[in-house]
Amino acid sequence: MIPDWLKFKKYPHIGKPLTKKKDKGWVIEYVTNPDKIANHKFTPLLHKKIYQRKYRPNKEAPKNKFKKRQRSVQKPKERPIFYASHLDSIVYSYYSHNLTEAYENYLENEDYGVSAVAYRKIPIVEGKKGNKSNIEFAFETFKFIEENKHRKLSMIVADVTSFFDNLDHRILHKQWKRVLKSNSLPEDHYNVYKSLISKRYVNELDLFSKFQNRLIVERGIENDDKKTKLRYKRVKHIWNLKRERVVTYCSKEDFFREATNLIRVEKSCSHQHKRCRENCDLKGIPQGTPMSATLANIYMLDFDELVFNETQQKNAYYQRYSDDLIIVCDQKNEDYFNNLIRKSIEDLAKLDIQPEKTNIYRYENIKGEFVGGIVNEKNVVVPNKQLEYLGFQYDGKKVRVKTVGFSKFYRSMKRAFRRGVHFATKPENKSHNLFEERLYKRFSYKGAKRRLIYKPDPKSETGYSKSKEQYWGNYISYLEKANRVMKPINGDDTIKNQYSKFWPMFEKEMKKAYKQIGEKVSKM
């Protein structure tokens, strides 16, 4: 039986990946030994940036027949990601597991434990399988609004400024001890804590450039389908790592012998929060390690307790999902709660609420209809923008999925078909196959069903047997679940109607792809 925290993954880093077959035994023994971890030498993290394109309506542009304005491409959203070496990642995963247990035990008798919902295994139905996701958490918020439509309500939706980058190390240390119910951190925990706050990392592109001519790749062995061997190979571009089956950038020995000059250590904070001054202490933890999410919840204990208690006294509602939070209250208490979260997060967490990402909405019952919208800079309710929270939009009657996800899905679909055409028309592909099964699995209702994965098994009569791994479906799976969960509010298939055009789009792209393949093949 493999514990939940033990996950063997394949991604290029410093040092070779670990495998379940060869390394499971010694890894469990090593990671669960406090004395070993107290003296463990952590390998520098690998750092890269993920960019997400942003489209925003042009306020000056006229609306089209669908009442949408022309969108302009804005500066991509930049997200720094840090990921640990294979052994370090398992160490972090184990201590995240232990801290999560301690955190849940701590909250067991605390009423405010219901308010922080992200990264937690909260059962949908107590005693049964299945945990809540952002869909159920959003539903709980909208349900509170539905049950209080007789009141004049305000909704404050806020975002914490550079959350992971600005976590104060002293507060993190204090809260870590708090959930462990200890006056000081045990030596093993302290070593893990120290490795995170030191933020020692190597830029992935620098590491690639250093060892580009001798990356370690995996190759098959002639006349043996089951065995592989490792060898050195030059890879021209970093985006070819997966295609070239790169296992690791270099061995640990080679890195510490030749490339320690690539190690970077952050010595100042991002200076994005207004309390910061140029001589401030180092702040922040790396985003992307298995511990980041758990530590984010632990860090906000004091803030969650205060805000939850205040909302309870005024018959309001509070929920926080990582660095996104919402308060639903009477309109007369709007200013009180808006000021409360700003002041409290500064005083208790030394963080800031982003003013430009704080939206206030007002709704009330007018002539039998619960209507409203966002409050603009002139303190006027504008109905053309409705409440948005956790990827959903609520207009006082229905809950819908934000369309930004649809655009991303459609762009991915078009890109996948373009790639399919490219590979289908390569000279070495004699069948000119589009690999339809893969496309159906990713982009159609045929791949939306969640099921256990079958794996080759020579002992089975069919040659395959069910594994414990699960295929989680695709984006349509998510939408189907959202439609099902939100149906008590919507009363119909509102969300299902939103994605009803996916299948016609898929068929259109399929026909277009085969037409392009035919044209290219005829010219070969």
| Mean pLDDT, residues 226-250 | 89
pLDDT score, position 277: 42
Apex CA 352: angle with CA 351 and CA 356, to 5°? 155
Q: Given a cut of 50, is residue 130 above it in pLDDT? A: yes
Nearest to 428 by CA among 288, 310, 524: 524
| Mean pLDDT, residues 69-77 | 65
Q: Given a cut of 80, is residue 469 above it in pLDDT? A: no
| Mean pLDDT, residues 207-221 | 90
What is the rounded CA–CA span in Å between residue 336 and residue 340?
Answer: 6
Output 222 or 136, whichever has higher pLDDT.
136
pLDDT score, position 425: 87
How far apart, in Å, are the Cα atoms of 470 and each of 134, 193, 449, 474? Answer: 20, 33, 11, 12
Q: Given a cut of 50, is residue 124 above it in pLDDT? A: yes
pLDDT in tens, 51-61: 776 655 666 66
Residue 455 token pair: 């794996």
Sign of CA dihedral 415, 418, 424, 426: negative
pLDDT score, position 62: 67
Q: How confident is the model at residue 437 (pLDDT cuts 50, 70, 90)?
A: confident
DSSP result, 431-470: T----HHHHHHHHSGGG---EEEEEE-TTSSSSEEEEEEE
Output 146 or 51, whichever has higher pLDDT.
146
pLDDT in tens, 380-422: 999 999 999 999 999 999 999 998 889 899 999 999 999 999 8
Q: Given a cut of 90, is residue 248 above it in pLDDT? A: yes
pLDDT in tens, 305-333: 999 999 999 999 999 999 899 999 999 99
Residues with Cβ within 8 Å of residue 228, at least 6 apart in sequence: 218, 219, 220, 221
Q: Which amino acid belongs to residue 274?
A: K
Q: Given a cut of 70, is residue 94 above it in pLDDT? A: yes
pLDDT score, position 504: 93
Q: Given a cut of 70, is residue 443 above it in pLDDT? A: yes
CA 300 to chain centre: 19
pLDDT score, position 325: 95
**DSSP β-bridge partners for residue 45:** 201
Q: How confident is the model at residue 267 (pLDDT cuts 50, 70, 90)?
A: low
| Mean pLDDT, residues 101-105 | 94
Q: How confident is the model at residue 66 (pLDDT cuts 50, 70, 90)?
A: low
Q: Given a cut of 80, is residue 454 above it in pLDDT? A: no
Percentage of the chain lying above the pLDDT 90 cut: 61
| Mean pLDDT, residues 154-175 | 92
How far apart, in Å, are the Cα atoms of 155 and each of 322, 325, 382? Answer: 18, 10, 14
Least confident of 47-61, 153-167, 349-363, 501-515: 47-61
How far apart, in Å, are the Cα atoms of 516 and each of 60, 127, 420, 424, 512? Answer: 39, 53, 11, 10, 6
**Can you give 38-86 as a three-state secondary structure string?**
HCCCCCCEEEEEEEEEEEEECCCCCECCCCCECEEEEEEEEEEEEECCH
pLDDT score, position 54: 62
Q: Given a cut of 90, is residue 465 above it in pLDDT? A: no
Q: Supply the DSSP symbol for 262.
A: G
Q: What are phi and psi of 481, to 5 degrees?
A: -65, -45
Q: Given a cut of 80, is residue 429 above it in pLDDT? A: no
Alpha helices in 215-274 (DSSP H): 252-258
Q: Given a cut of 80, is residue 110 above it in pLDDT? A: yes
pLDDT score, position 271: 43
Output 274 or 220, whichever has higher pLDDT.
220
pLDDT score, position 154: 96
What is the rounded CA–CA span in Å between residue 140 and residue 386?
Answer: 18
**Using CB atoms within 10 A of its CB, is residue 302 exposed (0-12), middle (13-18) or buried (19+)?**
middle
**Using CB atoms within 10 A of its CB, is residue 126 exposed (0-12), middle (13-18) or buried (19+)?**
exposed
Q: End-to-end distance of the chain based on CA atoms, in angstroms?
A: 54
Nearest to 344 by CA among 158, 105, 100: 158
What is the rounded CA–CA span in Å between residue 502 and residue 474?
Answer: 13
Q: What is the pLDDT of the chain when averaged over all its residues?
A: 88
Q: Given a cut of 80, is residue 280 above it in pLDDT? A: no
Q: Which residues of 349-369 are buried (b: 16+ CB within 10 A; e: fewer)?
A: bbbbbeeeeebbbbbbeeeee
* Residue 174 exposure: Cα atoms within 13 Å on the Cβ side: 11
CA 403 to chain centre: 18
Q: Given a cut of 70, is residue 355 above it in pLDDT? A: yes
Q: Given a cut of 80, is residue 192 above it in pLDDT? A: yes
pTM for the model: 0.86
Q: Give, for 107, the enclosing helix (H) or strand (E).
A: helix 86-107
